[in-house]
Chains A and B, each alone.
Chain A
Amino acid sequence: MSDNKSLENLVTQVRRDILRMVHKVNSGHPGGSLGCAEFLVTLYNDVMKLNDGFDMNGEGEDLFFLSNGHISPVIYSVLARKGYFPVEELNTFRLLDSRLQGHPTTHEGLPGIRIASGSLGQGMSVAIGAALTKKLNGDEHLIYSLHGDGELQEGQIWEAAMYAAGNKVDNYIATIDYNQKQIDGATDDVLPLGSLTEKFKAFGWDVLEIKEGNDIQAIKNGLAEAKSRTGNGKPVCVLLHTEMGNGVDFMMHTHAWHGKAPNDEQLESALAQNPETLGDY
């Protein structure tokens, strides 16, 4: 267990990493990355049971799959800060010959990544497969995944949702980054999602909400509750209410920073709002 203060410090540093990574190459997705920083920092440093080092098969540990691969800056920072690879490597994000591709991939052998993602809607199926293998292997550790809310417009998600409930894949917690925004605007304007709680319930899932998805204690409480509901014959869905661009005032309450990098002045302002805690890479 990690105290909230040290997790807060890590979140602040992760925000700095995200901002500096996308600024350097003038590309990438800061909005969703910032929105999920508290969640992923807490998941990796307080919730998941992880082995030392990285092994693709991940036996005897919890596994996480990022389905909305465009928020690669946040997962790269969280993995590097967790020790999967040197933090200095964050300097190579989106550069030629880097292991830190625009969207995460196993292809370059980056420790911590078990599936390529970026083309949306595929991660839930993959997570289900990994959960089935855990059951076959008698491994009682859990599978976690994260999905964008806009990503739920992909049909494959609902194929997977139907399968997981119908086949009692109950060693699996899928979290939805419910920021209600996507590239073209509000999800309600692009293609309304309706009630996600009711949709997942109707598919046979156990659903819970974390209303304060950028609050570490709320995330801890929500994920503890989610874990307690595993093993009961149903997959568990966590609806995580987040703020896109969280922690940088001008990036919040808008979809404008979904896939846009800050310029020099904007970076300066954003970093000033998030003073260095653990040391920049």
Chain B
Amino acid sequence: MKKYTNTGSKDTRSGFGDGLTELGKTNPNVVALCADLTGSLKMDEFKKNHPERFFQIGIAEANMIGIAAGLTIGGKIPFTGTFANFSTGRVYDQIRQSVAYSDKNVKICASHAGITLGEDGATHQILEDIGLMKMLPGMTVINTCDYNQTKAATLAIAEHHGPVYLRFGRPKVANFTPENQKFEIGKAVQLTEGSDVTIVATGHLVWEALQAAETLEAEGVSAEVINIHTIKPLDEEAILNSVAKTGCIVTAEEHNYLGGLGESVARTLTLHQPTPQEFVATNDTFGESGTPAQLMEKYGLNAASIVKSAKKVISRK
């Protein structure tokens, strides 16, 4: 089985910030907006390099989304930055009407997604944002797994015309995807080949899935790990090809099982190839304060949980 190495833990939000910095230099139409979280979103460098193209909106997320929609009229490509909760739930109707329904080329970039935001607790941890965004017609939904991939995705979405939700996180996590790997929206990345179980993971759970695959391998179970960085449009072909081989699947995400990647995968399987599936996700609950590692363990979002689910789903074949 192919092994992956952590080349040095980094936060995914820094991947976004560095991607945005690069875009500032290469694409004069890219503009950035932030709602009083410039440092947290790692947008300082863009702001410093291009003050005329950076808009500090203040703590007014609804206004930020509307201004971003307006900035597209005349050819700008706005990237909005705030926490995932304030990027989605707080401004759902603004995104729905002024961005999605109006077909505006806005990139909604959301940091501190999921439970690994940590100590701030449930008011700031959103576990429903993937569902909210994937339900919007025309919205592309991306959840990247590490620094390198987040940077690559940031560059890629500037080239894609249409509204995008880009979800990433706060803590330092393993950086293991190749540097400068081209990011293809909607194209799953197969990380390991396996024959007993398919594990499709998104975001921070991709590294956990790789750890789980190593544990399973030591126990004689062959796991195929697929990184689903784009939840919408979903790479159905990659999933169906894999389960045709393995006959069962585990989905893993830092999100409520309701509305998440797992449900999208389940729909695909139900329509084309009914297959036993287990969900590694939060169980219709809010989060709470704690360190990211503590929370991942308590809410069953780690490698151990994926191993357990893999064994269970294999037994259901």
The reply to whether the CB of A269 lies closer than 8 angstroms to some CB of chain B is no
**Which B residues are CB-close (under 8 A) to A130?**
70-71, 73-74
Q: How far is the CA of A132 from the CA of B101 in the complex (A)?
A: 22
In the complex the two chains form, is A156's CB within 8 Å of B94's CB? yes
In the complex the two chains form, is B93's CB within 8 Å of A119's CB? yes
How many residues of chain A get a CB closer than 8 Å to chain B's CBs?
40
The reply to whether the CB of A228 lies closer than 8 angstroms to some CB of chain B is no
With A105-B102, A128-B67, A130-B74 in contact, is A136–B52 under 8 Å at CB? yes
In the complex the two chains form, is A116's CB within 8 Å of B97's CB? yes
The reply to whether the CB of A90 lies closer than 8 angstroms to some CB of chain B is no
In the complex the two chains form, is B53's CB within 8 Å of A136's CB? yes
Instruction: Flag the segment in A9-17, A37-45, A54-62, A208-216 that touches B.
Output: A54-62
Instruction: Flag the segment in B2-10, B58-66, B189-197 that touches A.
Output: B58-66
The reply to whether the CB of B98 lies closer than 8 angstroms to some CB of chain A is yes
In the complex the two chains form, is A57's CB within 8 Å of B63's CB? no
The 0/1 profile, CB within 8 Å of B marked 1, for residues 124-138 of chain A is 111111111110110
In the complex the two chains form, is A126's CB within 8 Å of B62's CB? no
In the complex the two chains form, is A106's CB within 8 Å of B103's CB? yes
The reply to whether the CB of A198 lies closer than 8 angstroms to some CB of chain B is no
Q: How far is the CA of A57 from the CA of B62 in the complex (A)?
A: 23
The reply to whether the CB of A179 lies closer than 8 angstroms to some CB of chain B is no
Chain B nearest CB, measured from A26 CB (Å): 25
Residue of A nearest to B66 (CB): A125
Chain B nearest CB, measured from A61 CB (Å): 11
Residue of B nearest to A126 (CB): B70
Residue of A nearest to B137 (CB): A107
With A119-B93, A132-B71, A133-B74 in contact, is A163–B102 under 8 Å at CB? no
With A117-B97, A156-B63 in contact, is A162–B70 under 8 Å at CB? no
In the complex the two chains form, is B74's CB within 8 Å of A118's CB? no
Considering only residues 139-179 of chain A, those with a C-beta below 8 Å from chain B are 139, 155-156, 159-160, 162-163, 166-167
In the complex the two chains form, is B53's CB within 8 Å of A163's CB? no
Considering only residues 40-60 of chain B, those with a C-beta below 8 Å from chain A are 52-53, 55, 57-58, 60
Chain A nearest CB, measured from B103 CB (Å): 6
In the complex the two chains form, is A131's CB within 8 Å of B70's CB? yes
**Which B residues are CB-close (under 8 A) to A163?**
57-58, 60, 63, 67
The reply to whether the CB of B39 lies closer than 8 angstroms to some CB of chain A is no
Considering only residues 178-237 of chain A, those with a C-beta below 8 Å from chain B are none
**Which B residues are CB-close (under 8 A) to A7?**
none
How many residues of chain B get a CB closer than 8 Å to chain A's CBs?
32
Q: How far is the CA of A115 from the CA of B67 in the complex (A)?
A: 12
**Which A residues are CB-close (under 8 A) to B103?**
106-107
In the complex the two chains form, is B73's CB within 8 Å of A125's CB? no
In the complex the two chains form, is B68's CB within 8 Å of A129's CB? yes
With A136-B31, A163-B57 in contact, is A156–B102 under 8 Å at CB? no
In the complex the two chains form, is B67's CB within 8 Å of A125's CB? yes
The reply to whether the CB of B75 lies closer than 8 angstroms to some CB of chain A is yes
Chain A nearest CB, measured from B55 CB (Å): 7
In the complex the two chains form, is A134's CB within 8 Å of B74's CB? yes
Q: How far is the CA of A156 from the CA of B91 in the complex (A)?
A: 10
The reply to whether the CB of B231 lies closer than 8 angstroms to some CB of chain A is no
The reply to whether the CB of A122 lies closer than 8 angstroms to some CB of chain B is yes
Residue of A nearest to B94 (CB): A122
In the complex the two chains form, is B94's CB within 8 Å of A129's CB? no
In the complex the two chains form, is A133's CB within 8 Å of B98's CB? no
Q: How far is the CA of A155 from the CA of B74 in the complex (A)?
A: 27
In the complex the two chains form, is A129's CB within 8 Å of B67's CB? yes
In the complex the two chains form, is B101's CB within 8 Å of A129's CB? no
Q: How far is the CA of A128 from the CA of B69 in the complex (A)?
A: 10
With A105-B101, A119-B97 in contact, is A126–B66 under 8 Å at CB? yes
The reply to whether the CB of B76 lies closer than 8 angstroms to some CB of chain A is yes
The reply to whether the CB of A258 lies closer than 8 angstroms to some CB of chain B is no
In the complex the two chains form, is A106's CB within 8 Å of B102's CB? yes
Q: How far is the CA of A271 from the CA of B288 in the complex (A)?
A: 63
Q: How far is the CA of A33 from the CA of B68 in the complex (A)?
A: 28
**Which B residues are CB-close (under 8 A) to A128?**
63, 66-67, 70
**Which A residues are CB-close (under 8 A) to B55?**
132, 167
Residue of A nearest to B67 (CB): A129
Q: How far is the CA of A57 from the CA of B74 in the complex (A)?
A: 4
Q: How far is the CA of A167 from the CA of B58 in the complex (A)?
A: 11
Residue of A nearest to B55 (CB): A132
**Which B residues are CB-close (under 8 A) to A155?**
62
**Which B residues are CB-close (under 8 A) to A124?**
66
Residue of A nearest to B53 (CB): A136
In the complex the two chains form, is A118's CB within 8 Å of B70's CB? no
**Which A residues are CB-close (under 8 A) to B75?**
57, 59, 133, 137
- Chain A to chain B contacts (Cβ below 8 Å), 18 pairs: A57-B73, A58-B73, A105-B101, A105-B102, A107-B103, A114-B73, A116-B102, A122-B97, A123-B66, A125-B64, A125-B67, A126-B73, A130-B71, A130-B73, A136-B74, A156-B94, A163-B57, A166-B58
The 9 tightest CB contacts between A and B, nearest first, are A129-B70, A125-B66, A133-B74, A159-B63, A159-B60, A129-B67, A126-B70, A130-B70, A129-B71
Q: Which residues of B line the A interface, CB within 8 A?
A: 31, 52-53, 55, 57-58, 60, 62-76, 78, 93-94, 96-98, 101-104
Since A125-B69, A126-B67, A160-B67 are in contact, a sample of 11 more A-B pairs with Cβ atoms closer than 8 Å, ordered by chain A residue number, is A115-B69, A122-B94, A125-B62, A125-B67, A126-B66, A126-B98, A130-B71, A156-B62, A160-B60, A163-B67, A167-B55
